Structure 1
Amino acid sequence: MLVSCDHRSSNGSMLLSALIVILLHITCIRSQQEPQEGELIFAHVLYRHGDRTPVDPYPNDPWKDPSHWTTGWGQLTNAGKHRHLELGRWLRNRYQGLLQTTYTNNEIYVRSTDVDRTLMSAESNLAGLYPPNGADVWDSAIQWQPIPVHTIPEPLDEVLSARKPCPAYDNALRKYKSSDEFQQYNKSLEPIFQYVSANSGRKIDSPTGAQFLYSCLHIETLNNFTLPEWTKKVYPEPLRSIGARAFAIKTNTPQLARLKTGPLVKEILQRFQDKASGKLKPDRKLWMYSAHDVTVANLLNTLQLFELHNPPFAACVLLELYRTGNSNAPYVSIYYKNTTAEPEPLYIPNCGQRCPLDQMSKVYQDIIPDNWQHECQVPFLSLTYVEADMRSSTGLIGIIFLTTVAILLVLLGLMAYRKRRSGYHNDKWYLRIDG
């Protein structure tokens, strides 16, 4: 019996030793995969604007009279200004080791979509990020200083507002919306669409339309307005869930993501590469984007980090570049600040929470366009275009019209060519022969 007991003890010791070796091996592998914590050297910050008024109240909205609101439709409210002032202060605390306390244009660049509420949000945010002190104080009665916010018209902006025309994207989106998957989902929502259409006075027949209604009701709730009795059947659910899913539609395939948000991801990664290699001029430390809920959702979904939800006011994505003191390559960490006090670290697919910069570029290479302008072009009468539009009579009529015009132009060209070749002439025309 004693021998048997010693044998079991020996086996237990061997098993324990084996487990220790395995755990050490796993720890070693993980330490090789995850770069050591390093020094923050650069950050991209993209956020949604602050609280606003409804963009377009529905026809039966009891609060649609402008007298109920302190500012115009789709405009930033005082609550929105204050929310971004607080976010700016939070960013000041987070990046106190990265940014100087006094403003310099060589340290930060701020870009906004060309919309009043995003421009005003950026200015409010900067008031919290750079309160004037020392040489920045220009009027003792004003605790604020002007800092430039850059923008370009939306029809010219393929990076941030992503509203620059891209026919290939429109084509791909039509194709996706005509897919069996989307059509079945849309059809399952018809009873809800019929109910909200009848009660709101506006035809709603898509997830995006439902999201617009949810946004309006949510804003009115935040402003302590009493909602109509009929909304209790659909607000907050199921409108909230439908709206959340609507945010994923615009980038729900690799092609849609590549054409809609690819230019933004490409710009971010290229700037990271330039910073890491010492080529970024000026050598800034923070690049800030002021945009919309759909911008936040599109970026997260394109990076495969989006969990279905409606991005709240001042939702903030932080993409941070770190440099380690050893031979490890620079790495990127991404955080999402939703409504929580601290941001949530996100796990980059096939890379981790600390993703080496070179590896990150490989992870997202399929959604980074080589030449966005060229990729946005649609070949004349391309098969994809035909597949997307054959389901609608308008699209079919357009295709037939364009085809007819093309055939007529070819025929006219052939007739003119044959006349020249035949030597046709009269009082006004003759065949010219060059020697």
Structure 2
Amino acid sequence: MAYALLAVICVVIGTSVSSSVPNTTLLNVQLLFRHGARTPTQPYPTDPHLNDTYMPYGLGHLTQLGREMAYMLGRYIRQRYVVGEDGSAPASGFRLVEPEYRQGALLVNTSAVSRTQETAQAVLAGLFYPPGDSQQWRAAGSGLGQRWIPISYNVLPVNTDRALIGSAPCSARDQEVMELYNSTAYKRQLERAVGNSSNLRYIQEHAGLSDADLTSQGLYFLYSDLRCQEDLNITLPSWARQRGVYPDLLSVAADVVVESLSTSSDLRRLTWGDLTSGIIYVAKNHGSQPRMCLYSGHDTTVESAIKSFGLETEDPAGNGLPEFTACLFFELHKDSNGTLGMQFFYRREAGGPLVRMIPKGCGPFCRLDKMEALLVAKRELPLPTDNCTVHPDLEGSLVNHHLHHVTTHGRRPYRRPRERKST
């Protein structure tokens, strides 16, 4: 069931990234990307813009910058994998996809969050456009029909998504997250991330965060909101610029939070296991699948996939929090002996360099059967014994709170901000 679901996500795309592994043929590519730049999802308690609805976008939707990022990602993918209209080979040298979109050539899956759907639409607009009269259409003289064609995509339901946002109920996962956030080690990690306990108290008092917010994901959401406001040229409060709080300290803390959600193989499997198994399924059954699959997700999705596949790089451009439109490339190749293998690439930020990622315990050309064996050995693929029933005691748990935060657009009912000292 999970395999079939993820297979529907596939999108055939061609990209132009040269491979350092000689004598291979590209058969299929799957791309997992984070959504583009957006407006804040939930204002923090002392936010001067607490009542701002961020119209015309609304809370948690793509901004003009986010739309442009996603569109340019689509153009980049086209340049890498799609044959030129004049028949020229794409940048990768592999003629994976024809320039004219045809039904069945492209399948896309997104999470149920609006910004991932908007991102998928913008990526598709950059990836395919009508190359000739056969698919061009009239649009009241606007010229739109010469530049854009509508392409369908699929949305994974919130209650069953264990692939792109991991919102499907799961008691075992929730229990592990609660234990993590209650652990002394995690609290010390956050404290080290912001420098010391004094800085942590400073941030808590000025942002109005509760103890529960502070020891779960509050620092991530705070960093995220400030980052989104900065992208919108909104003046940030003076306290955020003092002590190096933003962006320096909070960006490190945000990285800790994102990594915590995929800190163990059990947590990754129970939250995003269907994505991992789906990627392997598509690769093994590439003959019956589209040549390209697009998965529109979140920073946590990208981070989890990197850890699940054990991807590493010596290039510093591949390290750090997945930025807006960060994209992982899962390429399936066949060598001169007919052996199937996977190659991995990563572009961590919009306009950044594409770097090669190598699975731990494997090489640049990782045989498909070995990659699957590594995933099985690490317990990254779904197991029959996985306990994902909903336990009444875990209703409203910390992980469910996180999922509610990213899947809704309303304001979270924070506690009333405490009085803070003037600076």
TM-score by length of 2: 0.75
Give, as a single letter, the amino acid of the residue that structure 2 aligns with 1:48. R
Corresponding position of 2:255: 244
Q: Please say if residues 190 and 253 of structure 2, whose CA atoms lie closer than 8 Å, have aligned partners that are also in contact.
A: no
Evaluate the alpha carbon distance shift between residue 341 and residue 184 of structure 1 in structure 2; reply closer, same or farther with a 3 A threshold: closer
Superposition deviation, residue 69 in structure 1: 4.8
Give, as a single letter, the amino acid of the residue that structure 1 aligns with 2:122. S
Which is further off, 72-81 or 60-69?
60-69
Evaluate the alpha carbon distance shift between residue 271 and residue 132 of structure 1 in structure 2; reply closer, same or farther with a 3 A threshold: same
Superposition deviation, residue 379 in structure 1: 11
Evaluate the alpha carbon distance shift between residue 119 and residue 379 of structure 1 in structure 2; reply closer, same or farther with a 3 A threshold: closer
Larger Rg: 1
- Distance in 2 (alpha carbons) for counterparts of 1:380 and 1:298: 24
Q: Please say if residues 257 and 367 of structure 1, whose CA atoms lie closer than 8 Å, have aligned partners that are also in contact.
A: no
2:231 to 222, 237, 250: 222
1:64 to 32, 50, 54: 50
- Distance in 2 (alpha carbons) for counterparts of 1:349 and 1:231: 38
- Distance in 2 (alpha carbons) for counterparts of 1:165 and 1:378: 7
How many equivalent pairs are there?
345
Corresponding position of 1:172: 176
Give, as a single letter, the amino acid of the residue that structure 2 aligns with 1:352. G
Corresponding position of 1:333: 343
Superposition deviation, residue 221 in structure 1: 1.6
Superposition deviation, residue 328 in structure 1: 4.6
1:317 to 308, 322, 328: 328
Unmatched tracts of structure 1, length 5 or more: 1-33, 389-435
1:268 maps onto 2:272 in alignment: no
Residues 8-40 of structure 1 deviation map (CA, whole Å, 9 limit, x = unaligned): xxxxxxxxxxxxxxxxxxxxxxxxxx9644111
Which is further off, 97-106 or 62-71?
62-71
Corresponding position of 1:103: 101
Corresponding position of 1:289: 295
- Distance in 2 (alpha carbons) for counterparts of 1:341 and 1:293: 16
Superposition deviation, residue 100 in structure 1: 1.2
Residues 127-155 of structure 1 deviation map (CA, whole Å, 9 limit, x = unaligned): 11001122221226212111001013212
TM-score by length of 1: 0.73
Unmatched tracts of structure 2, length 5 or more: 1-19, 83-94, 313-317, 398-423
Corresponding position of 1:405: none
Give, as a single letter, the amino acid of the residue that structure 2 aligns with 1:75. H
- Distance in 2 (alpha carbons) for counterparts of 1:66 and 1:206: 27
Corresponding position of 1:367: 379
Superposition deviation, residue 64 in structure 1: 3.4
Within a 5 Å distance, the mapping from 1:122-201 to structure 2 comes to: 122-134=120-132, 135-139=134-138, 141-142=143-144, 143-186=147-190, 190-201=197-208
Residues 90-113 of structure 1 deviation map (CA, whole Å, 9 limit, x = unaligned): 100101221111112322210011
Corresponding position of 1:116: 114
Evaluate the alpha carbon distance shift between residue 73 and residue 378 of structure 1 in structure 2; reply closer, same or farther with a 3 A threshold: closer
Q: What value does the CA root-mean-square deviation take over the aligned residues?
A: 2.7
Q: Please say if residues 39 and 60 of structure 2, whose CA atoms lie closer than 8 Å, have aligned partners that are also in contact.
A: yes
- Distance in 1 (alpha carbons) for counterparts of 2:246 and 2:202: 12
- Distance in 2 (alpha carbons) for counterparts of 1:378 and 1:67: 36
- Distance in 2 (alpha carbons) for counterparts of 1:228 and 1:370: 45
Corresponding position of 1:418: none
Superposition deviation, residue 305 in structure 1: 2.8
- Distance in 1 (alpha carbons) for counterparts of 2:187 and 2:227: 27
Evaluate the alpha carbon distance shift between residue 318 and residue 70 of structure 1 in structure 2; reply closer, same or farther with a 3 A threshold: same
Give, as a single letter, the amino acid of the residue that structure 1 aligns with 2:78. R
